[in-house]
Amino acid sequence: MKKMLTMTSATYLLIGLFCFSSPLLSDDKPKSDSQSDYRVQKKPFQPELSLKGVIAPAEMEQMIIRLKEFNGTLTVKSIIPSGTSVKKGTVLLSIDTEQIERQLQDAVYKSDNFKIDIEQAKLKMKTNETSRQAELEKARVHLADVERSLRNYKEIEVPLKRDREDLSIKQGEATLQDRQAELKQLEEMYKESEIAGKTKEIVLERARRDVGNTTTSLGISRRDIEYNRQTLIPKKIAELTNEEKWAKEDLELLKSRSEIELIDFKQSFSKLEFESQKHADYLAGLKADKELFTIRADKDGVVVHGDLQRRLLAGRAPLEEIKEGDTVKPNETAFTIYPPNDYIIITSIPENSRYMVKGDTRAELHINALPDKIFKATVLRIAPLADEVGNNGKMFSTHLSLKDSDSRLQIGLTCEIRFELGKLNDVIAIPADLVINREGKSFVSIRNGNDTSEQEVFIGASGRNYVWITSGLKEGDVIVPKK
């Protein structure tokens, strides 16, 4: 909630900058008038720098309501008056808590729901895992049964069937041979026998019929065996092989589906946990925000409402009042607290005078509200980087420390700062009215015989009536006055 006073680019906004020169001549006026040429020569030069400044506390801490989660209206319930001297621990501001209490209740309710959702998800995960394992085990058992059936059929049933078929063929062939032999014997026996012809024919016909039937039966058995071995057995093996293949595919598909379902569930569960943690962080942030609804002074000092540094730089009165019932904005300065009777001067130095002012350069202060006294000051620090560009080019924010004290000093009083700069010897300085300023650059008109031409020059510092030229001119050059 604190931010120390820093050099700022806005400093030059409050400072009306003006510079003037005074070369060390017998009088302060240039030796040439506006109608005659001016011959450049080196001479001693006393730069002078005068700036506008403002009195500010030597140390300012900004107290900011840095909220993380609360997005409602910050309505002031009570506030200490601006300009009050306070002790460490004094309550400065209380914000109405009605809105944040409602947000906290909603957040706690949602947090409880997240806890229930997580427990239900864990239970569902356990139930689904049990179901998946049961389905996988069922698929494994089915695959094992199919593999066993295929193995038994190929290794046991088919060989047994072939043995039975081979035995049946052998028996059929033996029966056929017996009946053929029996028929032959009957034919030989009846050939020499005197038995009546009709009886003989009946016996022989019966024997021949038995041979024919046995031959036919044996042929049918052979064709049946051939059909079984070439068609039915391969078909059965193919069916069992396909069933085994499908059982394996079903098992792998079930495994893949189970893995996908498990991954999907874990992703959903992780998302739920992430949302739950995110909400827990939100709830913690909201609770932390509530603690900031009461602001206490963390040190002794004087308290003013709002951003004192910004108001000083903008040239506005240092006091502004926030009242009960007003609203304040989060992440903006609510208070500024500073130690009393410890002041500095803030100003901005133009780029062309930056290196003429050093860390220990002394200055005189003429405070507009205290014309009867001249104050002494010393440069305290100069910003290492230039701030925004003003009317006089780049500006460097600068702080000066006061060497004098006065009970009449107040924050916000404006002053004129006159720096004590060192004398320069043997430099080129020309009357300021010879310089032509155009589009951010400086030029002079140089005479070359009967002709004139513009020459760009670079100004190092200004004096009362003269400017120091660091480059662009040399001794003996003749400058034509502006028309």
> CA 481, CA 483: separation in Å to the nearest integer?
6
Residue where a domain terminates, one of 278, 312, 339: 339
Asked whether the beta carbons of 405 and 373 are under 8 A apart, the reply is: no
Report yes or no on 148 lying in a domain.
yes
Quick one: 91 and 187 in the same domain?
no
Q: pLDDT at position 35, please?
A: 63
pLDDT of residue 350: 83
Q: Are residues 152 and 109 in the same domain?
A: yes
* pLDDT for res 25: 39
Is residue 434, in this structure, part of any structural domain at all? no
Q: Is the pLDDT of residue 81 over 90?
A: yes
109 and 91 share one domain: no
**In the prediction, which pLDDT does 21 show?**
36
Name the residue range of residue 320's domain.
Answer: 60-96+296-339
For residues 203 and 330, state if they share a domain: no
Percent of the chain with pLDDT over 90: 59
The whole-number pLDDT of residue 316 equals 62
User: Domain holding 278: CATH number?
Assistant: 1.10.287
* 381, part of any domain: no
Q: Is the pLDDT of residue 17 over 60?
A: no
Q: Give the CA count within 13 Å in the CB-facing half-sphere of 479.
A: 28
Q: Are residues 173 and 226 in the same domain?
A: yes
Structural domains in the chain (count)? 2
The stretch 9-20 carries a mean pLDDT of 37
pLDDT tens digits along 151-169: 999 999 999 999 999 999 9
Per-residue pLDDT tens digits for 20-61: 333 343 334 454 444 688 999 998 988 888 889 999 998 989
Residue 243 resides in a domain: yes
Q: What is the pLDDT of residue 20?
A: 36
Query: What are the backbone angles phi and psi of residue 143, rounded to the nearest 5°?
Result: -65, -40
pLDDT at 9: 37
Is 116 in the same domain as 133? Answer: yes
pLDDT at 357 over 50: yes
Evaluate whether residue 191 is within a structural domain: yes
Q: Give pLDDT tens digits for 93-152.
A: 999 999 999 999 999 999 999 999 999 999 999 999 999 999 999 999 999 999 999 999
With respect to residue 17, please indicate whether it lies within any of the assigned structural domains: no
User: What is the predicted pLDDT for the residue at 375?
Assistant: 94
pLDDT score recorded for residue 186: 83
> Any idea which of 55-69, 96-110, 193-207, 406-420 has the lowest mean pLDDT?
193-207
β-bridge partners, 307: none
pLDDT tens for 307-344 read 888 888 776 655 678 899 999 999 888 889 999 888 99
Cα(77)–Cα(201) distance, rounded to whole angstroms? 139
Over residues 459-477, mean pLDDT: 86
Neighbours of 86 (CB within 10 A): 18
Please indicate, yes or no, if residue 211 is contained in any of the structural domains: yes
Choice between 1 and 291, residue whose per-residue pLDDT is larger: 291
Task: Please give the model's pTM, rounded to 2 decimal places.
Answer: 0.59
Flag whether pLDDT at 412 surpasses 70: yes
Q: Is the pLDDT of residue 370 over 60?
A: yes
Place of tokens 């004098």: 404
- pLDDT for 392 equals 55
User: 65 with 140, same domain?
Assistant: no
Helix (H) or strand (E) holding 308: helix 308-313
* Exposure b/e, 276-286, CB count within 10 A at least 16 = b: beeeeebbeeb
Mean pLDDT for 469-479 is: 91
For the cut 50, the answer to whether the pLDDT of residue 77 exceeds it is yes
Q: What is the pLDDT of residues 247-271, one digit of tens each?
A: 999 999 999 999 999 999 999 999 9
- The residue behind tokens 């560009």 is 389
Pair 64, 120 in one domain: no
- Residue 354 tokens, joined: 């930056």
Largest CA distance in the chain: 189
Q: Which of 42-51, 198-207, 294-303 has the lowest mean pLDDT?
A: 198-207
Residues 219 and 244 both lie in one domain = yes
Same domain, 154 and 255: yes
Print burial letters for 206-228: b (CB count within 10 Å at least 16), e (below 16). Answer: ebeebbeebeeebeebeeebeeb
Average pLDDT over the chain reads 86
Residues 164 and 121 in one domain: yes
User: Is 334 within 8 Å of 295 (Cβ atoms)?
Assistant: yes
| Burial status of residue 440 (CB atoms within 10 A of its CB: 0-12, 13-18, 19 or more) | exposed
In this predicted structure, what is the pLDDT of residue 461?
76
Cα–Cα distance, 368 to 410 (Å, whole number)? 12
Indicate if 205 and 243 belong to the same structural domain: yes
Confidence at residue 354, expressed as pLDDT on a 0 to 100 scale = 80
List the one residue out of 2, 19, 3 whose CA is nearest residue 348: 19
pLDDT value at residue 468: 87
Query: What pLDDT is stored for residue 98 in this prediction?
Result: 94
Q: Is the pLDDT of residue 6 over 50?
A: no
Select from 269, 288, 307 the last residue of a domain: 288
> Can you give the pLDDT at residue 359?
82
Return d(Cα 432, Cα 442) in angstroms, integer.
Answer: 11
